[in-house]
Structure 1
Amino acid sequence: MKCSKKFFFTASAFAITLSGISACSNDSHITDKHSANSAQIQSSKAKNNHEIWGKVNSAVAKDPVIEQKVSDLLATMTLAQKVAQMIQPEIRDISFDDMRKYGFGSYLNGGGAFPNNNKHSTPQDWIALAEQMYQASIDDSLDGSSIPTMWGTDAVHGHNNVIGATLFPHNIGLGAANNPELIEKIAQITATEVMVTGIDWVFAPTVATVRDDRWGRTYEGYSEDPEIVKSYASAIVKGLQGHADSDFLGDDRVISTVKHFLGDGGTVNGDDQGDNISTEQELHDIHAQGYYGGLGAGAQSVMASFNSWHGKKSHGSHYLLTEVLKNKMGFDGFVVGDWNGHGQIKGCTNSDCPQAINAGLDIYMVPTDAWKPLMENTIAQVESGVIPMSRIDDAVSRILRVKFRAGLFDKPSPAKRKLSGKTELIGSESHRKVAQQAVRESLVLLKNNDNLLPLSPKMNILVAGDAANNIGKQSGGWTITWQGTGNKNTDFPGGSSIYDGLKQQVEGAGGKIELDEQGDYTHKPDVAIVVFGEEPYAEGHGDLGNLAYQRGKKTDLSLLKRLKAQGIPVVSVFISGRPMWVNAEINASNAFVAAWLPGSEGKAVADLLLTDSNNNIQHDFKGKLSFSWPNSPTQIVNRFDTNYQPLLPYGFGLSYADKSDKNVLSATLNETFIPDKNSVKANYIFAGKVVAPWQMLLVSEQDQAVIDSNSKTLSGITYRTVDKNVQEDAFRIVLDGSVNAGIRFINSNGFREDLSSELENNAAMVLSIKRESDISAPVFISMNCETIGAEAGSCSAHYDIAPQLKASEKGQWNTLSINLSCFANQGIEFDKIAVPFELRSSADVSLAISDLHFEPQLAQHADIQCQ
């Protein structure tokens, strides 16, 4: 297919030219998730063609003075000191003494990790940790090294791990805004708030070009097409690091990271950490353009990607990391790994992987206690010649080069830097105003029948939906906690929900407003604003089988239809990390707004939905789709596809000035989708994270506590997240045997759930479990119709799995399945389930769990039968 190489964003104020690339390629138009031969067909197209890759003219040129400093310092370093520069542990797994002894070149806080292991750590707590780690790193009394360390953090939509920080819309919303100048402001504000806490380095921007919206990280991408991605990468790097010719890495700037190299947005079926089978030309034209933009602006670090390219993990690809990125593109900063990504390379473990260093990785990101054996093994592998000393010297030179460029040898310690401790800057009003502008520009108006919007604030307005007054839900993943779950509005001081903004303006204009999540009201409203959408999720846990919203549990649709049946006009505000098939919800709405994940400044939504008190438009809709909107649950569609037939095209977005003929969703949309015969899916309770509507509790006798962080303790039991396949996708519980204790899942709203369909589908309860100790007493799995005092009720059932655990190999993951008749035969009423799973014991036992679900058609083949 031929197409122009100049792309214009519909209704945008500017155009972007992608010189010399062919972004019209259709690299992953996969409509069948189980397409059998696509990988084999595409694999034959992969060729290592160096000529495809052009050199990046970085705005940051090599400085002979810095190069001499690097050379001089490197010449004084021992092998152990060099390797320590290449090790990046996590704050939960090292002490100040470890930093003093080994002198790690950097360290990180993973998503959901906090100083003192406290989610509500203050900025002063963050500064204190940064200062102590820094002082330990320059203390040469044990390791002989005084090289300052660097702290890296995932500040991906603001300084999102810190309570009270300004949280901007996630990248998918910013892509709809298509405003690089605004993006640079956002990045600069993020850098400022990060510097207040003494941190040097940010793992942003994500420059994935997303090709399959089923991918759980879709919202981390700006667009399905590289035009916005390339422009934004440059703008964000400039905002974070400063401009190369003026304020580069000054006192209010941080080191940036373009990630993830390469092709993470184009994996087969949108599988996170999956395989990208694009041709090399497509890899360059579609997936690499963000790196040309970001590296051109002077980005100093690149993060390797979890994904593979034609079956080879990027962390172990010498071709991509060394031949392409470093040699052809000319990148002279350092390449950092992702969370134990080196351990996924064939033949590697988290603690032993020379292949990654030899491929071109410069820094191992090695959370957990694997850092020590990894460091020891790497030293031994250099001494034995497995890793050439030249490769070590190159990696350390790159790390030192960036540290010198960032002024880390000359800047004061973290607690004494220019912005450190100026906590008034975190979540300041001026920062929040920029975030509010971003919210206003990111919202996309998809439908506006009879020009219902904007609404007069003098009306009687009902606000409904579970996202209306929920700052955590509107902010999505990577929000305080890694998955964005377990948060309350009180965790966002200074922030506002969507309802907050509506209430302020309606009451200020003399109108009436009522909030009820379920859509009930005291007086019949003139209009209802319903705010609903996806629950928060992050990497590894957001992948979907198809794009149908609320598959099999259309509670939000029921709410919309109930209001419509009462003659109440409905404005839907849809919270999501991707376009989704919501035809039925659109049909049940008079107006429909794609709000994406707006962040902490929800009140700005009211600026578009409402007029002022004089019925004048306050702000018009500017947002335009940077992702095509699907026409069916299984349609994977991207701009420039040969057969391009989305429901709404790339660049679509209504404004209040548009005439009725632009309102293409006015007609009734098709709501029927007939899935294949295998469409009945597993029903997950825990899939690396707790799945809505469930909530996980620690229980000890009659006490219980909500698990809202990555570690928790109750009398007789401790809990902590651990890794199985991806970062923190499992958890460990350790019972000391002093009391009857365990874990319990309940509906987060306190409601009972109808799970009778699980019996109808002949499902079995399935869990992935690892015993880490001997089993000395019964270990009961229970289901219940009550949440407290369950064992005394009539609607309860339990089964002892101790025999199966004893029979399993200690330290090995095992899958255990239980026929649901084991519970049904004891009287459980599956249409009234309050507790779908509880595990308790009085034993001294340690167990890890990574997966818990109901698997259809497995009952008769389950490991445990109770006929």
Structure 2
Amino acid sequence: MFDNRATRKIIFFIAIALIGLQLNACSEDRANQAELILSQMTLEEKIGQVIQADIASVTPAEVKEYNLGSILNGGNSAPGGGKSAAWQDWVALADAYWLASTDTSDGGLGIPAIWGTDAVHGHNNLQSATIFPHNIGLGATGDTDLLERIGAVTAHEVRATGLDWVFAPTVAVARDYRWGRTYESYSENPQLVSDLGAALVLGLQGKPGSETFLGDKKTIATAKHFVGDGGTQYGIDKGDTIVTEQELRDIHAYPYKQAFKNDVQTVMASFSSVNGTKMHESKTYLTGLLRDEMNFKGFVIGDWNGHAEIPGCTATNCPDALLAGVDMYMAPESWKGIYESLKSQVESGAVPMARLDEAVLRILQTKLNAGVFEAGLPSKRPATQQQSLGSAEHRDVAREAVRKSLVLLKNNNNTLPVKPGSNVLVVGAAANSMKDQTGGWTLSWQGNNNSNEEFETGETIYEGLETAITQSGGTISWSKDGRYQQKPDTEPDIETDMAPDIAIVVFGEEPYAEFHGDRMDLIYEFEGDPNLAILKQLKAKGIPVISVFISGRPLWVNSHINLSDSFVAAWLPGTEAGGIADVLIADANGKPRFDFVGKLPFAWPVGATGELVRKDAGTTFQFGYGLNYGDDVQVATLPVSEILKKPEEIFSGEIIAKGKAVDPLEFYLGDLTNSNTPAPMLNLTSLGGSLVSEGTDYQAQEDSRKLSWVNANRAEASARLARPFDLTQIEDYERLTLSLTLKVSATGDDNIILGMACGEGCLSALNMSSTLSDLPRNQWNKLAIPLACFVNKGLDPTKVEVPLFVQAKQGWELSLHQASLSNAKTEELTDCPQ
């Protein structure tokens, strides 16, 4: 007689043999095979299949021990633990995980793990890969054939490193450009998002039913983030999308329909909420809408520890996500805790075995569809070829995408194309910066620390222009700040050196990704800021100006457009920026080499204060706008309001008055669910319910804000500026103090922290527990804390973004009437809290 271990392995190998004999088996056959495999799995193997761990936090040996179903490389993860790795290292690690997951020496079935990666604009974690324009630029092309070819190139290059699965396309319909992920959206238009997203799915996976579907050069695709991520209130990352059910279906769910028709294999749940409910806990949407109504057949992957943001959950304990419809936890470093807690919950009956089996079946079915059981060792697969990365053929597709993505907003007096033989001055650091043109999700998560030398393929905007201009008989020079020179060995002097025939000024946003890219407004620059100063300087000399704007979203640049003879929206073009020169620079006969074909995928904000202006306002740059060389359009001067002032011209030191933030600051509530929920009104609650804000009385009815921390999760209230502020500009800076009028009603067991922040990784936090506990209860008090206390704790006073935040946990009740930075009297000063 066989023991159980031997019996189930024999049955498993029979199933695998059947797979090998039925490579073109129908979905019903594969479903039967999945059920046969499931019937032989232990509880531990089932638990492992529904968990995905990050390569920075799991070893091949642990993948084997825990039978993990998947691994991923996060935006900052590469083989070897560095920022990037060579092709050989990617393939070697893929081999190691595959060998570990398929090892049966311990009696396990050896189900292959699949490796997922955020290849959102090409295989963007690799230095030698082809990097395409971000989705917003692809939206401007409106070209489904191009998108399908881009998907095919991306899949080919991902498979070239031995990986199986791509977390793309993003089919969010971005509605508020303040969202830091706007560039991941193809358009504000659901139909365009649907068309382009579906085309990319075809390119990544192949056509369902065809011989190439999920073949050697194809990958598993992911439609994300389900659902409503592009509609969050105020454009806040992980925020709340407040919509009617019909709006949700007509706008945000709409692009998924065609992706499902193209048999996209996986869906990623959104970090965000809909009408106050986190998507990771929403059975209404992850099961009701997604499966019962939209008939999605694949499996749902969570987002990066997205389950941890469900109220009542932690990163290591969250049955709610699985019960709601998440089939695989993305638990990058928390995977082991999720494994243990979920195993205990299934054993106790808290999580029904039927629900676990359902999730495992979906994952097995996808693996069967993708052929991973018979694919073999990654390094031995036909598509695992280093020469596929950044090949000339692939780069040609990317260069075409750049050409087609450019949108011409203005071309007064036919300034473009640049005539042959011209002496051209290219201005701006962005013109010679690979990081600026590739943006976030490139080599690293935020993409903001990449040098040109780290890119093994592609060319900068300047390099592309240099080739095209010299080929047409012209001359070219580069200036970072707009000063120009006649000879390279002399100090440039704008007053005396020979003026160029024309200037191409390249400027725009610094790289960013989710969360860090969120904005409080759409104003790019104020009067006196660097790029406006350069444009004014050139125009004052009578030099024709072509502006090339690099951005992940439309921004308020009316002043810049007014100072430009031609203005081109170039988005985030990726590595093949020579495509910009293809369109801007004429051939030797003075004819355009390529015309502008790009159209705005989003309306451009032209309101006087940066707000979006829609069609009923009669403005120029609406969705679908875009000039070409055949158009004879003279763009009139756009409105520029005098009320646009820099924060330092507005911020007087007043932070809170009568419980509300003082202009230009805004008040926010935050907890583990979302740290950036605007709270302009007094009576609001943080998205996760951890912090309650209410109006309360000091000298008049509801002239103050009461903050109550109501559970064990740390939560924060803060007042923030849209841009960094230099406190040293305030008169008598050395004597500045943070003055507070407050009342303590109750204290908690945990510390209460008061602080200021000055950007990522730059903050100063003071433990106020003792100071506030010593105050008499339910009485209004005044405190004055010297600014030096915060500076001594690490605050950089020249770039303060958050002049006040308060963090605490359950038990604390604190009311705020007033807060300001001012010169307090000596007798009011409080010693620095210890």
TM-score class, shorter:
0.7 to 0.9
Shift of 1:800: 11
* Structure 1 residue aligned with 2:465: 502
* Structure 1 residue aligned with 2:664: 680
Whether the aligned pair in 2 keeps the contact of 1:818 and 1:859 (CA below 8 Å) is no
Could you tell me how far apart the structure 2 residues matched to 1:190 and 1:248 are? 15
Mapped pair 1:256 → 2:221: yes
| 1:121 aligned partner, one-letter code | A
Shift of 1:673: 3.6
Whether the aligned pair in 2 keeps the contact of 1:159 and 1:190 (CA below 8 Å) is yes
Could you tell me how far apart the structure 2 residues matched to 1:431 and 1:353 are? 42
CA deviation string 1:289-345 (max 9, x = no partner): 110011110100000001101100001000101111111211111000000001111
- Is the alpha carbon distance of 1:782 and 1:409 closer, same or farther for their aligned partners in structure 2, counting shifts above 3 Å? closer
* Structure 1 residue aligned with 2:550: 575
Shift of 1:645: 4.7
- Is the alpha carbon distance of 1:457 and 1:805 closer, same or farther for their aligned partners in structure 2, counting shifts above 3 Å? farther
Whether the aligned pair in 1 keeps the contact of 2:123 and 2:131 (CA below 8 Å) is yes
Whether the aligned pair in 1 keeps the contact of 2:70 and 2:116 (CA below 8 Å) is yes
* Structure 1 residue aligned with 2:623: 650
1:141-540 alignment runs, 5 A limit: 141-142=105-106, 144-246=108-210, 247-368=212-333, 370-420=334-384, 422-522=385-485, 523-540=498-515
Whether the aligned pair in 1 keeps the contact of 2:220 and 2:266 (CA below 8 Å) is yes
* Structure 2 residue aligned with 1:70: 34
- Is the alpha carbon distance of 1:668 and 1:288 closer, same or farther for their aligned partners in structure 2, counting shifts above 3 Å? closer
* Structure 2 residue aligned with 1:612: 587
Could you tell me how far apart the structure 1 residues matched to 2:282 and 2:557 are? 40
Whether the aligned pair in 2 keeps the contact of 1:463 and 1:515 (CA below 8 Å) is yes
Mapped pair 1:565 → 2:540: yes
Whether the aligned pair in 2 keeps the contact of 1:758 and 1:856 (CA below 8 Å) is no
- Is the alpha carbon distance of 1:760 and 1:448 closer, same or farther for their aligned partners in structure 2, counting shifts above 3 Å? farther
Whether the aligned pair in 2 keeps the contact of 1:578 and 1:596 (CA below 8 Å) is yes
* Structure 2 residue aligned with 1:757: 729
Shift of 1:215: 0.7
* Structure 2 residue aligned with 1:549: 524
- Is the alpha carbon distance of 1:317 and 1:834 closer, same or farther for their aligned partners in structure 2, counting shifts above 3 Å? closer
CA deviation string 1:228-247 (max 9, x = no partner): 11111210111000111211
Could you tell me how far apart the structure 1 residues matched to 2:764 and 2:641 are? 45
Could you tell me how far apart the structure 1 residues matched to 2:109 and 2:611 are? 53
1:668-707 alignment runs, 5 A limit: 668-674=638-644, 678-681=662-665
Structure 2: segments with no counterpart, 5+ residues: 1-23, 486-497, 652-661, 673-712, 716-724, 740-755, 774-782, 803-817
Could you tell me how far apart the structure 1 residues matched to 2:229 and 2:148 are? 24
- Is the alpha carbon distance of 1:157 and 1:824 closer, same or farther for their aligned partners in structure 2, counting shifts above 3 Å? closer
Could you tell me how far apart the structure 2 residues matched to 1:525 and 1:865 are? 58
- Is the alpha carbon distance of 1:483 and 1:216 closer, same or farther for their aligned partners in structure 2, counting shifts above 3 Å? same
| Residue of 566, 570, 578 corresponding to 1:595 | 570
Shift of 1:803: 8.9
Could you tell me how far apart the structure 1 residues matched to 2:283 and 2:526 are? 42
CA deviation string 1:89-112 (max 9, x = no partner): 101111111011011000101112
CA deviation string 1:156-195 (max 9, x = no partner): 0000001111110000010010000000000000000000
Whether the aligned pair in 2 keeps the contact of 1:209 and 1:287 (CA below 8 Å) is yes
Could you tell me how far apart the structure 2 residues matched to 1:588 and 1:541 are? 30
Could you tell me how far apart the structure 2 residues matched to 1:310 and 1:460 are? 57
Shift of 1:494: 2.0
- Is the alpha carbon distance of 1:760 and 1:444 closer, same or farther for their aligned partners in structure 2, counting shifts above 3 Å? farther
SS in 1 for 2:560: helix
| 2:637 aligned partner, one-letter code | A
| 2:642 aligned partner, one-letter code | T
- Is the alpha carbon distance of 1:462 and 1:355 closer, same or farther for their aligned partners in structure 2, counting shifts above 3 Å? same
Could you tell me how far apart the structure 2 residues matched to 1:174 and 1:763 are? 50
Whether the aligned pair in 1 keeps the contact of 2:727 and 2:800 (CA below 8 Å) is no
CA deviation string 1:429-470 (max 9, x = no partner): 111111011000000000111111001141111101121100
Could you tell me how far apart the structure 2 residues matched to 1:836 and 1:329 are? 43
- Is the alpha carbon distance of 1:621 and 1:582 closer, same or farther for their aligned partners in structure 2, counting shifts above 3 Å? same
Structure with higher Rg: it is: 2
- Is the alpha carbon distance of 1:763 and 1:558 closer, same or farther for their aligned partners in structure 2, counting shifts above 3 Å? farther
SS in 2 for 1:468: helix
* Structure 2 residue aligned with 1:44: none
Could you tell me how far apart the structure 1 residues matched to 2:830 and 2:452 are? 43
Could you tell me how far apart the structure 1 residues matched to 2:621 and 2:123 are? 33
CA deviation string 1:100-135 (max 9, x = no partner): 101100010111210001223111110111110010
CA deviation string 1:703-749 (max 9, x = no partner): xxxxxxxxxxxxxxxxxxxxx999xxxxxxxxxxxxxxxxxxxxxxx
Pairwise CA RMSD of aligned residues?
3.6
SS in 2 for 1:564: helix
SS in 2 for 1:286: helix
Could you tell me how far apart the structure 2 residues matched to 1:371 and 1:192 are? 29
Whether the aligned pair in 2 keeps the contact of 1:532 and 1:573 (CA below 8 Å) is yes
1:5-84 alignment runs, 5 A limit: 63-84=27-48
- Is the alpha carbon distance of 1:187 and 1:347 closer, same or farther for their aligned partners in structure 2, counting shifts above 3 Å? same
Could you tell me how far apart the structure 2 residues matched to 1:528 and 1:511 are? 13
Could you tell me how far apart the structure 2 residues matched to 1:255 and 1:829 are? 46
**Identity of aligned pairs, percent?**
46
Whether the aligned pair in 2 keeps the contact of 1:519 and 1:563 (CA below 8 Å) is yes
Could you tell me how far apart the structure 1 residues matched to 2:451 and 2:337 are? 39
* Structure 2 residue aligned with 1:742: none
Shift of 1:61: 11
SS in 2 for 1:463: strand
Whether the aligned pair in 2 keeps the contact of 1:192 and 1:253 (CA below 8 Å) is yes
- Is the alpha carbon distance of 1:424 and 1:765 closer, same or farther for their aligned partners in structure 2, counting shifts above 3 Å? farther
Could you tell me how far apart the structure 1 residues matched to 2:349 and 2:218 are? 39
| 1:267 aligned partner, one-letter code | T
- Is the alpha carbon distance of 1:551 and 1:565 closer, same or farther for their aligned partners in structure 2, counting shifts above 3 Å? closer
Could you tell me how far apart the structure 1 residues matched to 2:246 and 2:799 are? 53
CA deviation string 1:689-713 (max 9, x = no partner): xxxxxxxxxxxxxxxxxxxxxxxxx
Output the TM-score relative to the length of structure 1.
Answer: 0.74
* Structure 2 residue aligned with 1:667: 637
| 1:367 aligned partner, one-letter code | P
Whether the aligned pair in 2 keeps the contact of 1:637 and 1:646 (CA below 8 Å) is no
- Is the alpha carbon distance of 1:389 and 1:804 closer, same or farther for their aligned partners in structure 2, counting shifts above 3 Å? same
Whether the aligned pair in 2 keeps the contact of 1:209 and 1:265 (CA below 8 Å) is yes
* Structure 2 residue aligned with 1:792: none
Shift of 1:836: 12
Could you tell me how far apart the structure 1 residues matched to 2:588 and 2:784 are? 61
SS in 2 for 1:265: helix
SS in 2 for 1:409: helix
SS in 2 for 1:285: helix
Could you tell me how far apart the structure 2 residues matched to 1:269 and 1:517 are? 35
- Is the alpha carbon distance of 1:314 and 1:199 closer, same or farther for their aligned partners in structure 2, counting shifts above 3 Å? same
| 2:273 aligned partner, one-letter code | S
Structure 1: segments with no counterpart, 5+ residues: 1-59, 689-723, 727-752, 767-780, 784-798, 810-815, 838-854
SS in 1 for 2:430: coil
1:97-136 alignment runs, 5 A limit: 97-136=61-100
